[in-house]
Amino acid sequence: MARADVEAILKKISINDGGALCYEEKQFLIKNEVPAFQNLEFKKILNNGANGITFIVFHKYLKIEQLVKLYFITDDKIEIKAIEETKKNSSVKLGDTIARVYDSGKLLFPVHVYYSIMELVENSLTLKDYLKVRTSFISALKEISSSEIMLEKNSLFDIILQEGVNLCIYFLRDISYLIKYKIRHGDLNPGNIMIGGSILTDNLSDLIDKYNKVKKNKKCIPVEFEKIKQEILCYKNIFYNEVFVGEIRQNRLQVKLIDLGTSHVNPSTVEKTNQRDSWFIFSTIRDILAPIFEELSIDFHDYFYLKQVGQSHVKKLEYNFKLEEYSELRDYYESNLCPSVQFHVENGKLDLSTLSIDKKCSIIKQWSTHNSFSDELDILIQEYMNSPLSTVSKVDDIIVKILIEEGEIFNNLQILPHKLQFKLVSKELMFESSTQYNGQIPYQMLSYEMFKFVAVTNLLLGLIFHQGNLNSLEDQSNPIYRDLASIINYNNVSSVEDVSHRFFISEIFDYKFYETGSILLNLNKEKKLWSNNILIDFDSYINDFIQAVELVK
């Protein structure tokens, strides 16, 4: 549905005094005019989007909160999509990473809807709400303890920042399960990510609201206001045995995905779904870690070889690598095909204009003799060989198609960095059959890179909060240095013979961390790696982090 259609429906939806859901003030009915959802008390709208509206409800007999999603059926396509989406969200193989659907059905009055009933983590909130509450909490802590430095030994902020790192890993664990079973979500927006067991409890949230109201109205006895401040400051004493600074381990913390979409049902496509998933994975990690980067005054985006494309809030992430230095060849690129050929490079792109047509024809003949290509490309080459006359554009087109098929250039003639040319690295969705440059980052590759990035961030934060500095990184025998090197270098290889199948073990990471790493960093079912430290400049990140910490002291 279009956004305008959703807005129009929202105006017609209401919840009566008894907790019954109504449409244009008429209660939803099943057959024989029996009221629908008799066991449920509707509380509020949790989220809404193009696929439908999700409500938080209370089961009157089980005494638990659940989720109910309504799909408003306006045509057959929407109904098919609703049914497929419900099946997807009922999958048991995704374990505890999704809010699973337990029941579904269809209602015809007062309007045609399809519904599904899902589990809800007790006392949970969406990531969207979590980030709002956390922002208010951090602001309150800064105001109450204005002399406190956020990134220092025994910081007042250490637990809340550590929970953010834990959230990132547990979120990536959910994504890793999707990757494992070749599922795309399609709408990983902050409203579809549920968080339970956080230190931002309802009590703490209420306390923050009370603090902000008193501060705004200035109508409170100073002693009472001071009491509120002290209660906020005591949060560390309450959660010190639940969140372990420098360690990814938080037993009560849960992250579940809701509303898995249907990328295979029109008008959705795998390409569109990947674009959305990649963007939301990137932006979710960025937003959760934002307080750290804001405090250090360094830009999260600076350490990623990518660019954001598009005007909408959901961007397309494309590869944006620094131009490789072909120092031994100057401005030339040497192909990996046999025999090897040197091509001129102009602004990072293949330039065939410096070669004569005879030279190009010779290249095609030699390559066709010594290399194997797809049937489609072989036919094209044979047609060319049998043709007495060929235009320059025809010859250029064949050379370009060969190099694209071999994964050496993009469709826009941009030369791939050598690390990305490794056949060991999966390049799903990197190329399209069209002549347009695709270059969008597969969500699997991004997840691999983000996992390492968050793990490195955890180690850096742990050193600051425990030692007050990052001097341990100068000692290669230090366990933290070894952990850092192990994370960055794990399966950063170029050949299958060098691939490791055993992830390193460290006591500062829990089973969820290792479960995630084993899926994202090891060979996939196609015996390829999802990435190879391609998207992130770890050296610059660590160096800038160290320098920024010194500046904020």
pLDDT (tens digit, 9 = 90+) per residue, 445-482? 999 999 999 999 999 999 999 998 899 899 999 999 99
Which CATH code for domain 3-119?
Answer: 3.30.200.20
Q: Please give the DSSP secondary-structure letter assigned to residue 126.
A: E
CA distance 150 to 290: 13
Using N-to-C axis directions, what is the helix angle for 443-467 and 270-296, rounded to 10°?
20
State the DSSP H helix or E strand holding residue 316, giving kind and residue range, or none if neither: strand 316-319
Please report the pLDDT score of residue 388 as a whole number. Answer: 65
CA distance 257 to 193: 5
State the DSSP H helix or E strand holding residue 103, giving kind and residue range, or none if neither: strand 101-107
Q: Please give the DSSP secondary-structure letter assigned to residue 304.
A: B
Ranges for all domains in the chain classified under CATH 3.30.200.20: 3-119
Q: Please give the DSSP secondary-structure letter assigned to residue 109.
A: B
Radius of gyration, alpha carbons of the chain: 27
DSSP string computed for 496-515:
GGG---S----TTB-HHHHH
Please report the pLDDT score of residue 1 as a whole number. Answer: 64
Non-local CB neighbours of 110 within 8 Å, separated by 6+ positions: 23, 24, 26, 28, 29
Q: Which of 75, 82, 24, 27 is nearest to 53 (CA)?
A: 82
Cβ contact 156:236 at 8 Å: yes
Please report the pLDDT score of residue 264 as a whole number. Answer: 45
CA distance 215 to 206: 14
Please report the pLDDT score of residue 326 as a whole number. Answer: 41
Mean pLDDT, each 10-residue run in order, the chain (553 residues)? 80 94 93 89 88 91 93 81 78 82 90 91 89 96 90 94 98 96 87 94 92 81 86 89 95 91 59 89 98 97 90 85 49 88 86 93 95 93 83 92 88 79 81 56 95 98 93 92 95 86 89 96 94 94 95 80
Report the predicted TM-score, pTM, of the whole model to 2 decimal places.
Answer: 0.88
In angstroms, the Cα distances linking 51 to 58, 293, 341, 389 are 23, 34, 51, 55
Instruction: Specify the residue for token string 């983590």.
Output: 121
Cβ contact 280:511 at 8 Å: no
Please report the pLDDT score of residue 248 as a whole number. Answer: 97
DSSP string computed for 386-452:
T-S---HHHHHHHHHHHHHHTTSB-TTSBBPPHHHH-TTB--TTT--SSSS---BPPHHHHHHHHHH
**HSE of 114, CA atoms in CB hemisphere, 13 A:** 18
Amino acid letter, 134: R
In angstroms, the Cα distances linking 260 to 35, 101, 189 are 28, 11, 11
